[in-house]
Amino acid sequence: MSFAIAIIGRPNVGKSTLFNRLVGQKLALVDDQPGVTRDRREGDGRLGDLEFTLIDTAGLDEGPKGSLTARMQEQTEAAIAAADALMFVIDARAGLTPTDRAFADFARRANKPVVLVANKSEGKHGEAGAMESYALGLGDPIPISAEHGEGLSDLYDALRVLMPEPVERDDEEDDPESFENVDGEDENLSTRPIRVAVLGRPNAGKSTLINRLLGEERLLTSPEAGTTRDSIAVDVMWKGREFRVFDTAGLRRRSRIEDKLEKLSVSDALRAVRFAEVVVLMMDAQNKFEEQDLRLADLIEREGRAIVIAVNKWDLMERAPSQIARLREDADHLLPQVKGMPVVAVSGMMGEGIDRLMSAIEDAYGVWNRRISTASLNRWFEQAVQNNPPPAVSGRRLKLNYITQAKARPPSFVVFCSRADAIPESYLRYLVNSMRGAFDLPGTPIRITLREKDNPFAHKAKRKS
C-alpha cells in the first residue's frame, strides 16, 4: 500500500473539497451544510510528483455511544489508525473553535506526523484565522484554498518532507477508484476487477451486505433510511477473483426527493450505475418488486449494464417449497426486457446466499461480455426469420438480409435490412427473445440496431428523374 494520508477536522471545513482537488476528480459529495461525509472514502491522490493514498473522513464530532455520530467518529478513528500521516484542516475564515482545539489534542495523541492546513485562506478574511491556528501547537499552518487551488505548492513542500522518495508513475496503470467508461472492449477481462454497483431503495440492506462481504464494519449501517450518501468503493476478493464494489445511496421516487443533499446522493448513485459493469439490484424480501424496484431495473437495462437481483432479508421470510422458483417467475413476468436475469435470495445480516450472489455476478459478467461468431448468428437469424417473417407493410414484404455483432458489453448487433423504419418494435423483441434462448444470453441487455443496405440502383433512378 502507498503512503496513506487521512484528512481530518471538524465538519464543514472543506475536507471533501480538498480530497477532490488532490485526487483530481469529484468523487466526494460537497455541500455547504455540515456532516455531508459519513463513510470514509479512499482515493489515489497526486500533488506534483508525489503520489499517495488519500482518505476522506467524516467531521470529528462527539455523540452518545451507539449513535450515528459516534459511529461516524469510529470510522474516522479507523482511518487515522490506517494512515501514515494526518492533514488536520481548519476553516481560516471562521477562526479557531473549541472543537478545533479539542480535536487537535486528539490528533496529537495519534502519534503520527500532522500537517496543519488552514483552508479557505483566500483574501484578507482568511489571514487572521491562519495566524490564529499557531495556537494549536501543530506546527506552521499551510494556508490554502481547496476550492480555488491556491497554496498547493506550500502543501507540496510540507508533504514532501514526510513522504519517501516518489516512484515513477506507470501512466498505463488503471486507476481503481476512477469511474472509467466500460463500453469499450478490454483484453484483460479475466484479470482486472469486476466493477459492481449495489443499487436499491433506502434501507434495503446494501451497506450491510457489503460489510458481510468484507468481513468487517467498513460502511456505516443504521435502521433509519438514508444513512449512506456517497458512493463508496471497496475491494472484495472472492475465490481468487477481484471485485470493486460500490455502495450507493438508497433511491426513492423522484417526486419524494426535495432535499438538495439527497439529490446529490442520487446523482452520485446514478453515476456509479453508468460506469459499473454489473449492477446488483437489492430488494427487501418483505416488499419486493415494488414500482420503484421496477423503475430501477429499467434504468439499469437502459444503461446497458448486466443485472443481478438480490432479494435481501431472506432470513425474515417463512420458507416454502418452490419459493425461489416463484421469485424467478415474478422477475421474468415483471421485467421481460431482461428475462432470465439471476435472482438470488440473500441475508446480509446472517450471511446467507453470499456465495450464490457472487457466483451470479461473475456469470452475469461473462454473459455481458459474450461474443458470437457471425456464421452462428446468421444460421440462427435465417431460421428465426423463416419461422416468423416480419409483417408486410402496404403490401410490400420487408427483407432482413443478415446480422453481425458490433460489440459486447452489452451484446450489440446490427441487422441489415430494407425499410428499417417500418420494422415494428414487437418484431425486434421477438428477435431478442429468440436470441436469448439460442445463444444462452439470460438477463443481459441486448441491443439490435437496424441499418438499411445501400440501393445499387439509386443513382440510375436519379438520372431518369
Q: Is 74 annotated as a binding residue?
A: no
> 3-state DSSP call for residue 136?
helix
Q: Is 59 annotated as a binding residue?
A: yes
Strand partners, 175: none
> 3-state DSSP call for residue 87?
strand
Q: Is 166 annotated as a binding residue?
A: no
Cα-based angle 199, 211, 82 (whole degrees, multiple of 5): 120
Residue 198: exposure state from Cβ atoms within 10 A (0-12, 13-18, ≥19): buried
Q: Is 153 annotated as a binding residue?
A: no
Strand partners, 246: 197, 233
Query: Using CA of residue 73, residue 142, residue 169, residue 184, what is the dihedral sign?
Result: positive
Question: Long-range contacts for 137-142 (Cβ within 8 Å, ≥24 apart)?
Answer: 137/104, 137/108, 138/88, 138/104, 138/107, 138/108, 138/114, 139/114, 139/115, 140/116, 141/90, 141/92, 141/116, 141/117, 142/115, 142/116, 142/117, 142/118
Q: Is 453 annotated as a binding residue?
A: no
| β-strands 114-119, 85-91 pairing | parallel
> 3-state DSSP call for residue 123?
coil
Q: Is 129 annotated as a binding residue?
A: no
Q: Is 201 annotated as a binding residue?
A: yes
Q: Is 313 annotated as a binding residue?
A: yes
Q: Is 124 annotated as a binding residue?
A: no
Q: Is 304 annotated as a binding residue?
A: no
Q: Is 13 annotated as a binding residue?
A: yes
251 in Cβ contact with 266 (< 8 Å): yes
220 in Cβ contact with 227 (< 8 Å): yes
Q: Is 359 annotated as a binding residue?
A: no
Q: Is 373 annotated as a binding residue?
A: no
Q: Is 12 annotated as a binding residue?
A: yes
Q: Is 10 annotated as a binding residue?
A: yes
Q: Is 424 annotated as a binding residue?
A: no
Q: Is 452 annotated as a binding residue?
A: no
- SS3 of 244-282: the string is EEEECCCCCCHHHCCCHHHHHHHHHHHHHHHCCCEEEEE
* DSSP track, 367-428: HHT----HHHHHHHHHHHHHHSPPPPBTTB---EEEEEEEETTTTEEEEEES-GGGS-HHHH
Q: Is 433 annotated as a binding residue?
A: no
Q: Is 203 annotated as a binding residue?
A: yes
Q: Is 207 annotated as a binding residue?
A: yes
Strand partners, 51: 46
Q: Is 431 annotated as a binding residue?
A: no
Q: Which residues lie below 8 Å from residue 149, measured CB to CB, with a gap of 6+?
A: 21
Q: Is 58 annotated as a binding residue?
A: yes
Q: Is 318 annotated as a binding residue?
A: no
Q: Is 247 annotated as a binding residue?
A: yes
Q: Is 123 annotated as a binding residue?
A: no
> 3-state DSSP call for residue 67?
coil
Q: Is 249 annotated as a binding residue?
A: yes
- Identify the H or E element spanning 88: strand 85-91
Which set of grid coordinates corresponds to residue 305? Answer: 449494464
- Name the one residue in this structure whose C-alpha cell is 476512477: 178
Q: Is 122 annotated as a binding residue?
A: yes
Q: Is 181 annotated as a binding residue?
A: no
Q: Is 57 annotated as a binding residue?
A: yes
Q: Is 322 annotated as a binding residue?
A: no
Binding residue numbers: 9-16, 56-60, 119-122, 200-207, 247-251, 312-315
Binding residue numbers for GTP: 9-16, 56-60, 119-122, 200-207, 247-251, 312-315
